[in-house]
Amino acid sequence: MAQDNTNYIWKDRKHHLWFPWSFTVYYIEDDRLMIRTGLLNTSLEETLLYRIVDISCRQTLAGKIFGTGNIVIHTKVDATAEIILQNIKNPMGTVRLLSQTVEASRQSRNVVGKEFYGGRPMVDLDGDGIPDYEQRPD
């Protein structure tokens, strides 16, 4: 069996109760969130981190008891608008780590909110060094 020498920022499996008995693996590497599922037929889904616009956590009473929860990720300009990382351990800590990693990815790519959320582009129209909203004819 080949050894995996990849340096992951984060990696976890879908848990059942507190046991990671699943063929669903979530991990972050190279500014990408990867989801690998399946045993015999394996699929791999990739989402670029800078495309993530919202992250939330859902935890049931059983999840609180066993230390697991679901992380719901909303993306922009992606095939799947909502991604659910199911039953992962330490969901609150993972949300914080994911948020920091997403922000770092945006900064490294110079992606700002207005470009990302579909707002009007900011340009310096009057030459004062302060970006102004681009004026469009109505």
**pLDDT of 109:** 87
From first to last of its 138 residues, what are the pLDDT tens digits of the chain? 344 667 888 898 888 766 677 889 999 998 999 999 998 999 999 999 999 999 999 999 999 998 999 999 999 876 778 999 999 999 999 999 999 999 999 999 888 765 555 555 555 566 665 555 544 444
Strand bridging mode 43-48 / 32-37? antiparallel
- Predicted pLDDT of residue 136: 43
Q: Which CATH class is domain 10-107?
A: mainly beta
Residue-level pLDDT at 15: 80
- What is the CB-side half-sphere exposure of residue 118 using CA atoms within 13 A? 3
The residue among 67, 44, 55 whose CA lies nearest residue 98 is 55
